[in-house]
Amino acid sequence: MQLGGPSTVLRCFIASRLAAPAAQDDIGNRGDRVNRVRKLFQRLKIEHRCGLIAYITCGDGPTIEIIRALEDAGADAIELGVPFSDPIADGPVIQAAAMRALKNGTKISDIFTIARAVRERSEIPLIAFSYLNPVLRHGIETFADDARAAGIDSVLLTDLPAEAAAEVKPAFRKRQLGSIFLLAPTSSDVRIAAVDRASDDFIYYVSTMGVTGARSELDPALLTRLDEVRAQVRKPLAVGFGISKHEHFELLKDRCDAIVVGSAIVRAVADGDAAGAPERAGTVVRGIAGR
């Protein structure tokens, strides 16, 4: 991760603390920590509905306010994207957001600052979404300690295969952090079984081959493939990459446990002034979910 310069995220956090009412309860420091992500999928099953997980790039725009707007719009969980200088799985929208965040001086420690600010007001599940390199540079044990202390529930490392889970899972499990792994349309039955074993809270299914990015149409083979994969796994399944319309949600809601919306939100954040970013992001979630 290319880091450096003054952190704008920390300044935003201090400003939000000064403007916010006193918290009634220190949510992030409770002794009875539970994994909110796992509880979310249990609740979604009981409610017979498909959840919506919203991705944001931390440090790109007023992140804390954007998260609050996403939750108000109906997002069920938030992926906290760690900006990285070589995001090989991401398309141009999220690549540009990562570069803006790094230019703003965003550091990996700012992700924990953001999480702590969210925890002052909210119990929404938080998922740290990163490439492996920033976590290794921060130190796996230190990262796990900081994530738990900040109120983060789970970690998804996009370029860490399930076969290498032993590299990080013990440190995460010790801190009650869930580990999430990816499946792709080309994943073999052996890989599907390995990811099902390694994933704690849910499996992230990549809807199409290629990088992230909003798409006008989903892969025609996606629905059939999802049915095949769901028959082989025990863990909940969330589908991401390319979901940007209410029509996409309608197609997927009966075939997965949650959808993940990323590039559509990140594009909305960048499409105007910073003050309007939270409202624009919330509008995306309401439109896709049909609220």
Q: Which residues are catalytic?
A: 79, 90
- Cα end-to-end distance, the chain, whole Å: 37
> CATH code for 8-20+50-289?
3.20.20.70
Report the 10 Å Cβ neighbour count for 185.
15
Q: What is the pLDDT of residue 29?
A: 36
Quote the CA–CA distance of 140 and 31 in Å, as a whole number: 22
Q: In the numeric block, which tokens belong to residue 231? A: 């028959």
Q: What is the pLDDT of residue 215?
A: 47
Q: What is the pLDDT of residue 19?
A: 40
Q: What is the pLDDT of residue 34?
A: 59
CA 36, 184, 255 angle in degrees (round to 5)? 60
Which is it for the CA torsion 157, 162, 165, 169, positive or negative? Answer: positive
Q: What is the pLDDT of residue 118?
A: 98
Which is it for the CA torsion 135, 197, 172, 167, positive or negative? Answer: negative
- 154: which residues sit within 8 A by CB, 6+ positions away? 35, 37, 125, 126, 127, 128, 177, 178, 179, 180, 200, 201
Taking the chain (291 residues) in runs of 10, the rounded mean pLDDT of each run is 42 42 35 76 97 97 98 98 82 90 95 98 97 94 98 95 91 96 93 96 82 54 90 96 89 94 95 96 96 79
Alpha carbon distances (Å) from 165 to 136, 172, 177, 230: 14, 10, 13, 22
Q: In the numeric block, which tokens belong to residue 108? A: 């990996």
Q: What is the pLDDT of residue 14?
A: 37
Question: How do the domains of the chain map onto residue ranges?
Answer: 8-20+50-289
Q: What is the pLDDT of residue 24?
A: 34
Quote the CA–CA distance of 45 and 47 in Å, as a whole number: 5
* Contact call for residues 178 and 144 (beta carbons, < 8 A): no
